[in-house]
Amino acid sequence: MNRTIVVALVVSALSISACSSNGTEERRQAETEAVEVSSLSPRVILTHDKGLTTLDPETGEVLEEIEKNAFLRLNQAGDGRHALVTEGNTLHAYDSGLIEKPHGDHSHFYETDPQLTNVTYDVPQAGHVVPHEGLTALFF
């Protein structure tokens, strides 16, 4: 299979808030299906001319493959869990499936299947995404 890798992004495990109250039903469902692990392993998200692929970099196993016949660009969302996928004039939220929940003096780690979520932002002439100090700005 010959694929041209357009963009690669390694999603690493960074802290996210466990007390967030604006979670969607989709996020709650994904978290209930998550499996607790001792630590998080990074995942690699690639875009190519056939779509989007998420890999386990240690084993090379394909964890998720999404077919899209469009030019896709990856952007860090800034929370260590999500990426924003630019497709034309739409930004799609992609969940890497890596979850960290701070708990007092330590954290609990969970993994679930990576997935393209239903969260989208329709923007004219999608520009770029900049995460900084817990906030993420979308430029268009």
Q: CA 14, 129, 5, 50 torsion: positive or negative? A: positive
Give the pLDDT score at 135. Answer: 86
CA atoms lying within 13 Å on the CB side of residue 120 = 11
**Do you know the residue count of the chain?**
140
Dump pLDDT digits (tens) for 55-65.
Answer: 999 999 999 99
What the block records as the tokens of 17 is 């808030």
Dump pLDDT digits (tens) for 4-46.
Answer: 332 333 332 222 333 333 445 555 555 558 999 999 999 999 9
Contact present, 101 and 6 (Cβ < 8 Å): no
Among candidate residues 88, 86, 85, 42, the one with its CA nearest the CA of residue 63: 42
> What mean pLDDT is reported for the chain?
80
What the block records as the tokens of 23 is 């979670």
* Amino acid at the residue 8: A
Q: Give the Cα separation of 77 and 128 in Å (integer).
A: 11
Q: Is the predicted pLDDT of residue 74 greater than 90, yes or no?
A: yes
Q: How far is CA 25 from CA 3, 45, 119, in A?
A: 35, 24, 11
Q: Where are the alpha helices (DSSP H) in the chain?
A: 25-32
What the block records as the tokens of 47 is 């875009």
Q: Give the Cα separation of 134 and 79 in Å (integer).
A: 7
Give the pLDDT score at 8. Answer: 31
Q: Domain range holding 95?
A: 5-139
Total domains in the chain come to 1
